[in-house]
Amino acid sequence: MDNVLKADNILTPAAEASGLGRNSLQSPPSALNTDSASQGQADTFDTIPPTPQAQRPPALPYQIINSLTSTIGGMANSAAGMSHQQGREAASPTSSYFPDAPRSNESSSSGELGNAGPAKTNHGVENRKRGYSGSRANRSLSNASVGSGGVSLGLSLTNSTLFYDIPMVGPMARSDALSDLIEKHISPEKRPRRESVELSDFEKLKTADALQELVNRKSWRSVARFARNRIVQTNPSHLAEILQLWYVRLQALVNLRLYQLALAELDKLGDLDRQEYTFEYHQGLFPGKSGNMIPFELRVLSANLPGLMKHYNTSIERLTILAMECQRMQLNSKEDTGLWRKREVSLYIMLANFLLEIKDFPLTISIMTKIVSKFSDGDIEPDVISTLGRLYLQLGNIQDAKKVFKGLESREASDPHVKRLVRMNSALCYVAAADWSPAKEELDAILAEDPNDYEAVNNLVVCLIYLGDLNQAIAVMEDLVSKSKDQAHGLIEKAVFNLCTLYELRSDTALEKKIWKLQQLHPYLGDGFHVESFKI
């Protein structure tokens, strides 16, 4: 891994490329069916060729902000608040997700059958064959007769054979890469205790906060297993619940960077735009409703997933199709125009990120300019305007960047968030011009208002390095890492990487310092943490 300091000194870091933050699972519906009156033997799992856990694609040096993606699917967080709170906990499951009724004791507590032998589910259907797979994407799963089609589709969607085992690493098959790293470099008597999470313990709580707790702990394996358990236990007629739980399952796999596994399970759902997934096809269950019943965030995840596996053109094509659909819905929908408008902007920003991956800078600028001009009626988010200006800075065009940034100054007095953006943009212009002292002054002013502003702290460290104060830069970054240990992986990973880079610049004892930091942070880091951030 190179020693280039990862700094947000041009474009602020994106959230997860799927369009959702690490801790931003959409709130699933309530009233899950846990009736265990009828039991049947579950199908065995399909097998796929063993593959190593997918590596995280190399990040862009500077990524366009993804601050508006939280609006997709009606997420709770506002776009305006995301830019200066990157890495903080986003909206997550709320309301009565866990039913009060006891769940079946026959289901696997881990949610993964694997080598544990056949398990029982509560569908009341014995030895059901798989309803469909990715190779038969357009095969009809149900008929359109009133009252029967939805149940037939639900039975297919809750079939246990649709799921694969989640691979585990380590000699005991219960650890992860982070545990392996600490076993390799820290003696047993000095190893910190890493709090383990058992899914069965949380399921016994039967409270609305149980899943939220799993998310807060970043226990994505448990979240994925929980979703799988609930899917196979849900009443087949509750299609909305089932599809939302599918999103929870797949998003958790993405957060674990198990992209190939997520793609394989997503393929089992087939074509998400086919007629069978429309409300019109199931009028017996959804009288008077129309449109696609697939959660929009699941469709966005489907569009982004190929890009996570470096198939950028596929994601670009799918995101473009979704953006065009958002345009049509704005014309046809009178009540939800604002929602579809925000979704369109979010999709264009995701699209721009993938265009940056293939280094199509002219088209990226064209798309961002189109967004700003199309929504120039005052409804455009200030973060989008800043994004366009920072893209110009990335390309070395400081003059055009300043022209774009000037459009925010008229809003500065009335909006604290815009005031912060104006200061940050000014600091970035100084950074792009290698004028470090005034850049530091602007960043100090931001931190006077919010000492925990990650973007400002990170950029301040860059300024301190170029001003020759490496010791102060290390002290500031160590403080940031200490404050960020409970935050989302995307934030803490960047902070740890930068701190380890500073250790390498400072002394020959960098390895010892990295191991010491690993020992400190290990108990707080959850599933899917990118261990390469420690540079050991």
Q: What is the pLDDT along the chain (536 residues), one digit of tens a residue?
A: 444 444 443 333 333 333 334 333 333 333 323 233 333 333 333 333 333 333 333 333 333 333 323 222 332 333 333 333 333 333 333 333 333 333 333 333 333 333 333 333 343 333 333 333 333 344 444 444 444 556 888 899 999 999 998 876 543 334 467 777 777 777 776 666 655 555 555 555 545 467 777 877 778 888 898 889 889 988 998 999 899 999 999 999 999 889 999 999 999 999 999 989 988 888 888 888 888 899 999 999 999 999 999 999 999 999 999 999 999 998 887 778 889 988 999 999 999 999 999 999 999 999 999 888 887 655 678 888 999 999 999 899 999 999 999 988 877 667 888 999 999 999 999 999 999 999 999 999 999 999 888 899 999 999 999 999 999 999 999 888 887 766 655 677 888 898 999 988 887 788 888 888 887 787 777 777 777 888 88
Q: Which residues contact 377 (CB under 8 A, 6 or more apart)?
A: none
- The maximal CA–CA distance of the chain, rounded, in angstroms, is 74
Rounded to two decimals, the pTM is: 0.69
Location of structure tokens 């694609």: 57
Other Cβ atoms less than 10 A from the Cβ of 291: the count is 13
257: left (phi over 0), alpha (psi -120 to 50) or beta: left
Between CA 507 and CA 502 the distance in angstroms is 9
Q: Which residues contact 493 (CB under 8 A, 6 or more apart)?
A: 529, 530, 533
Between CA 498 and CA 504 the distance in angstroms is 10
Between CA 213 and CA 239 the distance in angstroms is 25
